[in-house]
Chains A and B, each alone.
Chain A
Amino acid sequence: GDSVTQMEGPVTLSEEAFLTINCTYTATGYPSLFWYVQYPGEGLQLLLKATKADDKGSNKGFEATYRKETTSFHLEKGSVQVSDSAVYFCALISGGGADGLTFGKGTHLIIQP
């Protein structure tokens, strides 16, 4: 079945540091890939997505590129802020949308001032 593996945290960085959160996947078919973010006490918000190989998703300074050859979708940001502290989930959906998202275990990011 489909699976997503992402680095487990917590990941602690200083403000303005460079961020990378690794994500790799296995999937049948040709999945769409997502990063969701969950702020404390809230639901999940879509951060960015990519639907085909070499697509780059970007939003709020975050970027991720769909790499089919390495089955990866690593999340990056050049300069993190305290407000970026949250749990980040890599996810995929393959086949029809009715199958639901397959999530990684989440990475807790803590940004210190």
Chain B
Amino acid sequence: GAGVSQTPSNKVTEKGKYVELRCDPISGHTALYWYRQSLGQGPEFLIYFQGTGAADDSGLPNDRFFAVRPEGSVSTLKIQRTERGDSAVYLCASSLVGGSGLTEAFFGQGTRLTVV
């Protein structure tokens, strides 16, 4: 596709349930990021993939959060035993990391997660 695609756009789940959020990055982009944005706040870093491996997962808040990118393209953010405090917009971004380093990161429209 032309841009970063995230599905679903909205997800409502009950407290304690398991959810998966999907991100399709721009084709050919090797770097993929997950961010969480709470209302009125800036995006908060969760995890960064370079290819298939998680190069930096220092932003994951606890072990209920996990992300994978098995083939170096699509990524899934998984949240176990959801809590009401997990409610936020989850943003995915991708970029092409070249020889000169970082290039522009393109964001998807986000998945709005509501835990009730």
A binds B: no
A residues engaging B (CB < 8 A)?
none
B residues engaging A (CB < 8 A)?
none
